[in-house]
Structure 1
Amino acid sequence: MNRRAFLKRFFGGALTLLGLSGGTYYYARDIEPGLLSIQQETIKGTNIPQSFNDFTILQFSDTHIGFHYDLDQFEELTKQINQLKPDLIVFTGDLVDEPNQYSWDNRLTDLLGTLNAPYGKYWVYGNHDHGGYGTETIKKVMHSAGFNLLQNSHQAIEINQDRIILAGIDDVMLGRPDLTKTIENTNPELFTILLAHEPDFADITVQYPIEVQLSGHSHGGQVRLPFVGHLYTPIYAEKYVEGKYTFESSNLNLYVSRGIGTTRLPYRFLCKPEIHLFTLKS
């Protein structure tokens, strides 16, 4: 082990031990998971039509309702989203944590239905949506709430005869993603946004005429330590963990959301939950 690796592990271990103290435990379990951050990003593109100048897209992801995140908290989230008055809303997967154990009722559908966006609401499957036999149940809930599923498909968003393309793939882990099929018959010169739950799929996306990929899945690691960073991320979120990434080989911009809820462990530390509000600039 070299000196740098030793110091990283030493400080990481020390901070982990420190994190076991009562105050830090309380903060990570009961305080930070409720400290929602609103990340505002500007996306510029020469192929963004003038009609879409200042068009806003709200992304939320990974609510994991049922695991340390309840419907009262989700109701507050829907209010915060509506206050931002986005033109379009997208959800990038993992609605509830364990679909087969969740107590489904109409309240979740009703709350999703209160979200307002004049140019529509769209979503893609995450691995927890397919898992636990949730595929059809969650599809029905989202449809009843006015969300349009993008499962290896796309939708043209139109203003004054100008268009951009919103596309979405099936979940990488438990679905059958097919990006070629997803953007089949689209004009490659049109500004295209891809919804993909797993961020590491971007290594495939760069091979296609897509300008933006919006992802979640990583939770930003949930627990991040000074000098160490995140301790763990799931498969297909090991390379791209949070924030914005650019690629030398293409014009792709990848944005990875830390998401809303938690999974496996009910903690967040130095990794606040977030939603993204993107503003397009012609």
Structure 2
Amino acid sequence: MKLLRQENAQITFKGASFNLIGVDYQRERTPRGQRQQTLARLQPLVRRDMINILLSHNPNTFNRAAELGVELSLAGHTHGGQIQVEILDHRLSPARFITDYIAGLYQRPLFAPAPNERAASNASPTRASSPSLFALSSPPMAHIYVNRGLGTVGAPVRLGVPPEISLIVLRRA
């Protein structure tokens, strides 16, 4: 098995191909606290002749990946927020302070400029409701699935966030 660290590999199965891209953990700030662009070296790895799938531990890479033309991103990192409380129809989690992408499937326009700051985002993410990711849509959409995972970070507590193992089935269009 080969680790994809700032690398890509073309995967072909039963005559269909996609471009699988893997990146190391992407930090938004340097050790000195300065902002840095996530996925700074991703653009040469994105292919225009096939679907691109990004494997990234950190879901905060999604805005930049969508801007560069990555159709599907798969991430974790948040443990689903670990603690989530539902009040009326709102889900509240402390993870919301660090990311818009806590758990589940989200979408945003493909190739749309990535917002500079989460709070000022004009192209805010929306929860995707359709299980068919690549159905024809206008504008075309990029998607991210953030897995809740099995473990925890810090305190070994999960409240309202059950652990998860996901099975994602890719089908040729």
Q: Which amino acid aligns with 1:258?
A: R
SS of the counterpart of 1:253? strand
- Cα deviations by residue, 1:218-276 (Å, 9 ceiling, x for unpaired): 111111112163432287x5211111101134521110111110111111111001111
Correspondent of 1:243 among 92, 95, 104: 104
Structure with more helix by fraction? 1
SS of the counterpart of 1:245? strand
Which residue of 2 is the match for residue 229 of structure 1?
A: 91
Gaps of 5+ in 2: 31-35, 113-139
Using the alignment, how far apart are the partners of 2:45 and 2:161 within structure 1? Answer: 40
Q: Which amino acid aligns with 1:240?
A: Y
Using the alignment, how far apart are the partners of 1:184 and 1:221 within structure 2? Answer: 32
Aligned residue pairs total: 135
Question: CA separation of 1:253/1:185 partners in 2, compared to 1, >3 Å: closer, same or farther?
Answer: closer
Alignment of 1:183-202 (within 5 A): 184=44, 187-202=47-62
The question of 1:255 aligning with 2:145 is answered yes
Ranked by relative contact order (alpha carbons within 8 Å, sequence separation 6 or more), the top structure is: 1
Which residue of 1 is the match for residue 120 of structure 2?
A: none
The question of 1:218 aligning with 2:72 is answered no
Question: CA separation of 1:255/1:160 partners in 2, compared to 1, >3 Å: closer, same or farther?
Answer: closer
Q: Which amino acid aligns with 2:107?
A: T
Larger radius of gyration: 1
Q: Which amino acid aligns with 1:159?
A: F
Q: Which amino acid aligns with 1:269?
A: L
* RMSD between superposed Cα atoms in Å: 2.6
SS of the counterpart of 1:264? coil
SS of the counterpart of 1:181? coil
Q: Report deviation, 1:185.
A: 5.7
The answer (yes or no) to whether the contact 2:7–2:45 under 8 Å persists in 1 is no
Percent identical residues: 27
Q: Which amino acid aligns with 2:56?
A: A
Using the alignment, how far apart are the partners of 1:246 and 1:213 within structure 2? Answer: 10
The answer (yes or no) to whether the contact 1:153–1:181 under 8 Å persists in 2 is no
Question: CA separation of 1:154/1:270 partners in 2, compared to 1, >3 Å: closer, same or farther?
Answer: same
- Cα deviations by residue, 1:125-151 (Å, 9 ceiling, x for unpaired): xxxxxxxxxxxxxxxxxxxxx4x2111
Q: Report deviation, 1:216.
A: 0.5
Gaps of 5+ in 1: 1-145
Using the alignment, how far apart are the partners of 1:154 and 1:206 within structure 2? Answer: 16
* Higher mean C-alpha displacement, 194-203 vs 171-180: 171-180
Q: Which amino acid aligns with 1:206?
A: A
Q: Report deviation, 1:203.
A: 1.2
The answer (yes or no) to whether the contact 1:199–1:216 under 8 Å persists in 2 is yes
Which residue of 2 is the match for residue 267 of structure 1?
A: 157
Alignment of 1:101-250 (within 5 A): 146=1, 148-160=2-14, 162-173=16-27, 179=39, 181-182=41-42, 184=44, 187-227=47-87, 229-233=91-95, 237-248=98-109, 249=112, 250=140
Question: CA separation of 1:158/1:245 partners in 2, compared to 1, >3 Å: closer, same or farther?
Answer: same
Using the alignment, how far apart are the partners of 1:203 and 1:178 within structure 2? Answer: 9
Using the alignment, how far apart are the partners of 1:268 and 1:276 within structure 2? Answer: 18
